[in-house]
Amino acid sequence: MTLRRTLLTAAAATAMVPISACGFSDSSGGSSQTVAYSNPVASQPAQHVLNNAFEAAAHSLGWDAKIYDANLSPDTQVSNIQTMIQTQADAIAVWTLDAGAMGGVYAQAKEQSIPIIGVNSDDEGITTTVWWESFMCEAPDAPFKRAAQSVAKERPGAKVIVLGGPPAPSVQKNASCFTEAAEDAGLEIINRTDNVKDDSANALALTSDLLAKYPDVDFIWAYNDLTALGASSAVTAAGLKVSDGQSPGVIIHGTNGDADAIQAIREGRLTGTWDPNNVASGMSIIKAVQNIQEGNTDDLIIKSTFWDTSNIDNYVDSDKVTYDLDDLPLVAR
């Protein structure tokens, strides 16, 4: 399978924010503010990059950035947001783990006129959302629709295992989004299993069991790169080959654009990954706060890039990616 996407970089040369930048003083002349982010699980490589970009963008404006790790616990996330409210954050960003648990704290934030920025979350009480394009299902050319259609063209009726993740609303929606796209493209979903532990070791064990039941699988779709890499290890251990998308073997897709996934593509251990552009995603939280202050609550959608052997030579490491807050790679709406 070949899915070509042009690498997007910001055109503006001023106010660029490198991913490694942090801790510098106000160069904007603006008033100091505090923006807090409830990270769903900070140990994920993609979230680490997003966190750094979020902090760098805030510091470029002379703002303070605070990050709280929910570590996949809805109770911890509720407690974190209560702390944000009590410490009088000017804005709160959150990747929701359990929408039902958040109603009370969102109401408290509203009472104190604190806007809530969702990250791939649009629960009741959220003011605006920063979306990864790969999480969007509705558009005819949505990323997962393109992926499913491309696999269907290469292997009509391909047998698919879907590896979902923890029961966070966005994660479950994402797996359902791909499943629907795959079925619409004529692919056969032979199993869906969730990697609720969210690590490669558990994904390896789950996939090993699944391969014993479904040795003729054509395509393994994984909700993130940690899961995809675990699946890849299981495929190799079973004596099977990972396909580059056009060659024989099991096609394996991940999401997040993690550095380990990029290396795995180069080494033939992973077919491809959807890179949500974590640098731009972290910066977009700060951009969303600016927009709210200007009376604009429109959602922001960050463009995604699919990396595979066709374009991997164009990949740029996240610590070398820079964008301008006023020229982020957004999907036009």
Residue 14: per-residue pLDDT: 28
**Three-state secondary-structure class, residue 170:** helix
Q: What is the DSSP string of 220-280?
A: EEESSHHHHHHHHHHHHHTT--B--SSSSSBEEEEES--HHHHHHHHTTS-SEEEE--HHH
Instruction: Supply 24's token pair.
Output: 């510098």
Residues 6+ apart with CB under 8 A from 277: 8, 132, 257, 302, 303, 304, 305, 329
Rounded to whole angstroms, what are the CA distances from 126 to 113, 130, 182? 12, 11, 30
pLDDT of residue 30: 52
Position 104, amino acid: G
Q: How far apart are the first and last CA of the chain?
A: 28
How does DSSP assign 91-112, residue by residue?
Answer: EEEE--S-HHHHHHHHHHHHHT
Give all domains of the chain, ordered by start, each with its CATH number. 16-133+276-324 (3.40.50.2300), 137-275 (3.40.50.2300)
Q: What per-residue confidence (pLDDT) applies to 138?
A: 83
Other Cβ atoms within 10 Å of 79 Cβ, number: 15
The pLDDT of residue 156? 97
pTM of the shown model = 0.87
Measured distance CA(26)–CA(8) in Å, rounded: 28
The rounded Cα 98 to chain-centroid distance in angstroms is 17
The per-residue pLDDT for 6 is 28
Closest-CA residue to 268 (of 281, 252, 282): 252
E-only strand ranges, 110-226: 116-119, 128-132, 159-164, 188-194, 219-222
From first to last of its 333 residues, what are the pLDDT tens digits of the chain? 333 222 233 323 223 444 333 332 333 445 689 999 999 999 899 999 999 999 999 999 999 999 999 999 999 999 999 999 999 999 999 999 999 999 999 999 999 999 999 999 999 999 999 999 988 888 888 999 999 999 999 999 999 999 999 998 989 989 999 999 999 999 999 999 999 999 999 999 999 999 999 999 999 999 999 999 999 999 999 999 999 988 999 999 999 999 999 999 999 999 999 999 999 999 999 999 999 999 999 999 999 999 999 999 999 999 899 899 999 999 986
Are 167 and 136 in contact by the 8 Å Cβ rule? The answer is: no
